[in-house]
Amino acid sequence: MTLETRLRLPEIEQRVCDLASEQLAMPRSKVSPGARLIEDLDCDSLDLVELIAECEETFGVTLPNAPRDPVYKSVFTRRSFRLADLAELIYLRQGMEAEKPVGRKQWRRAESQPAPMDLLPFSQLDGVWDPSSDGHRGLFEELAADGPAWPRRRRTDGMRCVLLSGGEVEIGCESNIAFPDEGPVHTVELDPFLIDAELVSTAAYCRFLNSTGESNPVTLADWFLLRPGDDRQAHMLIERDEAGWRPLVGAETWPMILVSWHGANAYSLWANGHDWSDYRDEHSSPVGCFLPSEAQWEYAARGPRFQEFPWGGEEPTPDRMRFARHRRSLSYEARTLPLAAVNERLGMSPFGLHHMAGNVWQWCRDWHDASFYKQADARGRNPVNRERTGTRSERGGSWIGPAELCRSSYRRGRNPLARGRCLGFRCVGVAAAPGARA
């Protein structure tokens, strides 16, 4: 299944319900996405295999019964398995097939071919989040610890999150390539925290919009809507129809761009289960923002000690990160923007985070101050610059600019209402002990 034919989660859920109704000979009115296959539909093992086989053929995917992908495995092994969970497995497998499933009524026994080396499975969700169905499970589900990039998955949006241990972390740069605002090098103490493995995608941002039901044009203008006549309208990657917000076809796995700091922060609050209405974070409250601080971001990008880029000091190349793609006088349509998918293995940090250099700039929590690293507050525990300066920090560089701007210590700021075709975000979260209900 190609990006051009990628189905949305709600569409898959409804078709799975249709198939279950047919396979189990039950009235369609009694079959819903929240129905549990065993408890509610009285589905035995043979029924389940038959239903999975029918789903494989209908959607052109394979559903391995011994999955290696930790995200897929976590869904596959959920207790009280629901039709919505089966639909989520199909959603996750879109575009991951190297060959077609075998004939009707045969659940594949062989593993499908692995995804290309430059991609990991796309785990972020579209559709609508129903907290009543997931709230009792906690905000995060634990994933198999196959590597540093797979410890948690956030239920609100399907985002993989990495647990960073914190501790004493070196921040800043004083080499001959550094600008004055990057120094002095100093050590800070960071508490453990969760951080998104990927940039927030257009699919997930539409899920946020559809889940909150927010339609106030003033609020949406604060977040991402552009003024009439703004030429960037041609590059908006999401649109609204009678069913709600949805990404442009083919852009579902791209980062959400043209989003203000306010729009990014509102999402960060919603994704972490908090009231998003105070998205301006006017009073810098402890739970007023779940965007990474500059210190958290820099540590997550390169590790606890200085290195120029996430992978070290070697020169950037196109196979390492997305940068310097723009050429003078080159124009774009929305679908021709040279963005990399959020799950593409570019700009990879030592912790397995994608796009910690290049692709799009990322909003941070701090108010930007070029002199902040020289101040005592920058050396405190979990430092955040809370003094209003009129601009919010952004880090990471983008597909437009040169490699120099993608260095892990490079700093700059932008008006919190600014939008950019090379500006997106990722979230952080509160760390919880393994097994805890976060």
The structural domains of the chain, ordered by start, are 3-115 (1.10.1200.10), 119-438 (3.90.1580.10)
Which residues lie below 8 Å from residue 342, measured CB to CB, with a gap of 6+?
A: 122, 124, 198, 199, 200, 201, 253, 254, 255, 354, 355
Which residues lie below 8 Å from residue 312, measured CB to CB, with a gap of 6+?
A: none
In the prediction, which pLDDT does 114 show? 39
In the prediction, which pLDDT does 98 show? 44
Quick one: how far is CA 314 from the chain centroid? 27
Quick one: how far is CA 209 from the chain centroid? 15
What 8-state DSSP symbol labels residue 111? P
Residue ranges of the chain with pLDDT lower than 50?
1-3, 98-117, 149, 433-438
Going along 172-235, which residue ranges are E strands?
186-190, 193-196
b/e map 269-288, b = 16+ CB within 10 Å: bbbbbeebebbebeeeeeeb
Q: Which residues pair with 187 in a beta bridge?
A: 170
What 8-state DSSP symbol labels residue 351? T
In the prediction, which pLDDT does 39 show? 75
In the prediction, which pLDDT does 130 show? 86
pTM here is: 0.86
Which residues lie below 8 Å from residue 324, measured CB to CB, with a gap of 6+?
A: 399, 400, 401, 402, 403
In the prediction, which pLDDT does 67 show? 67
In the prediction, which pLDDT does 53 show? 85
